A and B are shown apart, each in its own frame.
Chain A
Amino acid sequence: MSLTKTYRFSAGHRLYIRGLSEEENFKIFDTCSNPNGHGHDYYVQVKVSGEINPETGMIINLQELDNTVNIVINELDHKRLDIEVPYFEENQPTGENIAKYMWERIKPDLGEKFIHLKLSETSNSYFEYYEEGNYPYEH
């Protein structure tokens, strides 16, 4: 059994490699290298699995899940990621890296229960992060 909750944040970013010219960055990152940045509404789906606690009827207390995830959401929401969030000064703020960052920030609090994270950057593209061999849809 699993439970999945969706969270949202809005953030700006620019994809570029320091030291490369604007032309070279444009070749790699296209419009995502626009010097002044651009933004997205990100949707994050956090999936937890486990047995139902017989006393509470729950896999996880939703308030505790919200508290854990919202700490990370608040670090990213309404921020320019590559300028205001230290992790993304060193790592490109791509969907892949944002998903990895969120997984690593959330995992210590949720532990074993946390099995899958899905980050939607737009309605057309999403990124998934999970442990190899533990994809929740193959059972």
Chain B
Amino acid sequence: MGFKKLLTKKMEFSASHRYWNPGWSEEKNVSVFGKSAGPYGHGHNYSLEVTVEGEVDVETGMIINLYKLKSVMSDVLGDFDHKHLNDDNPYFKDLVPTTENIARILWELLEERLGDNPKCSLYRVRLYETHDMYVDYWRK
């Protein structure tokens, strides 16, 4: 029987956002998104947990070098940390920056940078918006 090997690294970032669907009236936006539709946005301290799955390299004893994972995560979060996601980030021009959508975009950016490696692949992205709410994104 085989064993699954996972490694998770956490990183925090702070960003502001506004929930707004430009195709809707102001009334509809407020009725669906409530306070999150405020015109100037609001912010959160997000916590990102990136989990990779893979084989433990015999020589290094690692699934992935943590310095590499850290630099990949920092690089990806450059467009997110201390930014207004609707205004400063290229991915939310036409996409509501919900926790669900942020997690999905982060998955795509991380997977692209981690490359195609059969011995170490992205397993799960867990994104906490607040300490009591998180989203998981993974490949089925």
Report A-chain residues with C-beta under 8 Å of the C-beta of B96: 56-58
The A contact surface, by secondary structure, is loop
Among listed A3-11, A21-29, A76-84, interface-contacting one: A3-11
Separation of A59 and B98 alpha carbons in the complex (Å) = 10
Beta-carbon nearest neighbor of B92 in chain A: A57
> Is the beta-carbon distance between A3 and B104 smaller than 8 angstroms?
no
B34 interface neighbour in A1, A63, A139, Cβ under 8 Å:
A63
What are 26 of the A-B contact pairs (CB < 8 Å)? Answer: A1-B103, A1-B136, A2-B135, A3-B99, A3-B100, A3-B135, A3-B136, A4-B135, A4-B136, A6-B131, A52-B101, A55-B23, A56-B21, A56-B32, A56-B96, A57-B95, A57-B96, A57-B98, A57-B100, A58-B98, A58-B100, A59-B100, A59-B135, A62-B133, A63-B34, A136-B136
Separation of A59 and B101 alpha carbons in the complex (Å) = 10
| B13 CB within 8 Å of chain A | no
Binary interface encoding of chain B residues 80-123 relative to chain A, with 1 for a CB under 8 A from any of its CBs, else 0: 00000000000000011111110110000000000000000000
Given A1-B137, A139-B138, A139-B140, are A52 and B100 neighbors across the interface (CB < 8 Å)? yes
Interface residues on chain A, number (Cβ under 8 Å) = 18
| A61 CB within 8 Å of chain B | yes
| A-B CB contacts (within 8 Å), total count | 55
> Is the beta-carbon distance between A4 and B133 smaller than 8 angstroms?
yes
> Is the beta-carbon distance between A56 and B137 smaller than 8 angstroms?
no
Separation of A120 and B140 alpha carbons in the complex (Å) = 28
Q: How far is the CB of B25 from chain A (nearest CB, A)?
A: 13
Report B-chain residues with C-beta under 8 Å of the C-beta of A3: 99-100, 133-136
Report B-chain residues with C-beta under 8 Å of the C-beta of A1: 100, 103-104, 135-138
Top 7 A-B residue pairs of the complex, sorted by shortest distance between their CB atoms: A57-B96, A57-B98, A6-B132, A57-B101, A2-B136, A5-B133, A3-B135
Separation of A5 and B19 alpha carbons in the complex (Å) = 19
Given A1-B136, A62-B133, A139-B140, are A55 and B21 neighbors across the interface (CB < 8 Å)? yes
Q: How far is the CB of B23 from chain A (nearest CB, A)?
A: 8
Most buried by A among B32, B96, B100, B137: B100
